[in-house]
């Protein structure tokens, strides 16, 4: 596509740069994991091409699809999770960024089909409750997206894990979704460590709600 003006160059640059955060934060191995972002104006989605190494990703080789997953502009095969990312965007209007990883500790919880319980104040701040675990689904079509939407529907958490699979994190933009993916793995590791030395103590739901409210509404600049 040399010499041609590509669509959504700014969003391509943003999504490409954010992909570097996945290996940097030890969330992915080899070519696994992907990020997408939805453009608020056109509803087009920028997503990672399939099977390309993280260091070889460029704004130019990102794929652009419509919200139904049809390719709009791409020289490469789109990520195998594209249909599921698009399903999430169609069913969660407030979501503009989606991240998928098989990060280790969170995926260990997924392997046993167990939610990540909310047992630290930091988790209360960020997630407002447990990180739910959705059902099993096969890769390729929309089935994964369906399970993610079901898992997040009645949850305060921006991310979930899917049974036997890994992490799906969402956000009002791609960067927020990446942050949710990083925090999911960090909290999964803390809970996993706690489980080695004892039984994590639950925090009362009303206290979690207070933590979450303060963090989302008062904390920060
Ligand atoms: Zn996966």
- For residue 106, which phi and psi values (nearest 5 degrees)? -65, -40
Q: Report d(CA 85, CA 212) in Å as an integer.
A: 26
Per-position DSSP letters for 130-146, written without gaps between them: -B-EE----SSSSHHHH
Per-residue pLDDT of the chain (221 residues; tens, 9 = 90+): 456 789 999 999 999 999 999 999 999 999 999 999 999 999 999 999 999 999 999 999 999 999 999 999 999 999 999 999 999 999 999 999 999 999 999 999 999 999 999 999 999 999 999 999 999 999 889 999 999 999 999 999 999 999 999 999 999 999 999 999 999 999 999 999 999 999 999 999 999 999 999 998 988 77
Tokens of 187: 């909290």
Query: Domain map of the chain by residue range?
Result: 9-217
Q: Report d(CA 52, CA 137) in Å as an integer.
A: 24
Give residue 95 CA to ligand 1 midpoint distance, Å.
Answer: 19
Number of Cα atoms under 13 Å in the Cβ half of residue 105: 20
Which residues form the catalytic set?
A: 125, 219
Q: Is pTM beyond 0.75 here?
A: yes
Closest CA to 36 of 86, 73, 70, 93: 86
Give 9-217's CATH code, choosing from 3.30.70.100, 3.40.50.10490, 3.40.225.10, 3.40.50.300: 3.40.225.10
Give residue 83 CA to ligand 1 midpoint distance, Å.
Answer: 13
Give residue 166 CA to ligand 1 midpoint distance, Å.
Answer: 6
Give residue 138 CA to ligand 1 midpoint distance, Å.
Answer: 10
């Amino acid at each position: 596509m040399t010499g041609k003006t590509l669509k959504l160059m700014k969003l391509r640059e943003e999504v490409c740069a954010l992909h570097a955060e996945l290996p940097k934060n030890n969330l992915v191995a080899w070519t696994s994991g992907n990020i997408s972002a939805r453009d608020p104006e056109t509803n087009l989605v920028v997503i990672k091409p399939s099977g390309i190494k993280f260091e070889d990703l460029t704004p130019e080789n990102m794929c652009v699809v419509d919200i139904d997953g049809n390719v709009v502009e791409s020289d490469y095969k789109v990520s195998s999770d594209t249909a599921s990312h698009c399903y999430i965007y169609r069913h969660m209007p407030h979501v503009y960024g989606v991240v998928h990883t098989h990060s280790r500790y969170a995926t260990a919880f997924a392997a046993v089909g167990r939610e990540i319980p909310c047992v630290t104040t930091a988790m209360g701040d960020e997630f407002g409750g447990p990180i739910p675990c959705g059902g099993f689904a096969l890769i390729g079509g929309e089935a994964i997206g369906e399970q993610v939407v079901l898992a997040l529907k009645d949850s305060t958490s921006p991310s979930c894990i899917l049974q036997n699979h890994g992490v799906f994190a969402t956000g009002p933009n791609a960067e927020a979704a990446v942050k949710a993916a990083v925090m999911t793995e960090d909290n999964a590791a803390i809970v996993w460590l706690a489980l080695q030395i004892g039984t994590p103590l639950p925090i009362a739901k009303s206290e979690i709600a207070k933590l979450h409210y303060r963090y989302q509404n008062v904390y920060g600049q």
